[in-house]
C-alpha cells in the first residue's frame, strides 16, 4: 500500500455521484499526498513526529527546504490538509461535496506527487537533504 494507491482511489471516488464518495475522494487525495511526502522525508532521513503535529510538520519541512518543487509540494499539501478537514468535519458545507471540488483536490494531490518525483532526482534530493 502506498500513497499512490490512495491517489488512484481518490480519482475513482471523484467520479461518483454521491456526496459521501466525493468527500472521501478529498480525504483520500490528501492522505495519498501526505504519505508520499512522509516517504520522501524518510528517504532523506528526516524523522517526522508520530503524533497529530505530523500533518503540519511535513508540509512545513518541505516548504522550508528552499527548493522550488519541495516548497510547492509543501504548500499544496498544507492547502489540501485544510480541504480534507472541511470534507471530513464541515458536513454543512455542500460545496466541499461536489464533483468539481473532489476533482480539484485529486489534481492537487497529483501535482504534489509530480513535485515529489522531481525532488527525488539528483542533485535536487541532496540539495533538499542538506537544507533540512
For residue range 69-117, list pLDDT tens digits in order: 999 999 999 999 999 999 999 998 888 899 999 999 999 999 999 999 9
End-to-end CA distance of the chain: 27
Kindly report whether the peptide bond that precedes residue 43 is cis, defined as omega within 30 degrees of 0.
Answer: no
Query: Containing H/E element for 29?
Result: helix 19-43
Which residue shows C-alpha cell 511535513? Answer: 58
Confidence tier at 132 by pLDDT (50, 70, 90)? confident
Distances from the Cα of 120 to the Cαs of 81, 113, 123, in angstroms?
A: 22, 11, 9
Domain range summary for the chain, segments of one domain joined by +: 3-131
Average pLDDT score over the chain: 95
Query: Containing H/E element for 11?
Result: helix 3-13
Question: Mean pLDDT, to the nearest integer, of 9-21?
Answer: 95
State yes or no: pLDDT of 17 exceeds 90. no
CATH topology of domain 3-131: 1.20.120
Distances from the Cα of 115 to the Cαs of 6, 86, 88, 105, 119, in angstroms?
A: 17, 24, 26, 15, 6
pTM (2 d.p.): 0.94
| C-alpha to C-alpha distance for 106 and 103, rounded to whole angstroms | 5
| C-alpha to C-alpha distance for 109 and 128, rounded to whole angstroms | 20
Amino acid at each position: 500500500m502506498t500513497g499512490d494507491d490512495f491517489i488512484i482511489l481518490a480519482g475513482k471516488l471523484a467520479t461518483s455521484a454521491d456526496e459521501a464518495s466525493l468527500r472521501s475522494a478529498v480525504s483520500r487525495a490528501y492522505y495519498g499526498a501526505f504519505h508520499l511526502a512522509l516517504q520522501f522525508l524518510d528517504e532523506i532521513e528526516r524523522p517526522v513526529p508520530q503524533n497529530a503535529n505530523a500533518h503540519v510538520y511535513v508540509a512545513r519541512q518541505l516548504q522550508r527546504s528552499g527548493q522550488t518543487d519541495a516548497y510547492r509540494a509543501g504548500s499544496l499539501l498544507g492547502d489540501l490538509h485544510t480541504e480534507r478537514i472541511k470534507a471530513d468535519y464541515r458536513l454543512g458545507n455542500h460545496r466541499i461535496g461536489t464533483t468539481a471540488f473532489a476533482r480539484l483536490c485529486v489534481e492537487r494531490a497529483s501535482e504534489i506527487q509530480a513535485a515529489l518525483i522531481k525532488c527525488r532526482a539528483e542533485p535536487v534530493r541532496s540539495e533538499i537533504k542538506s537544507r533540512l
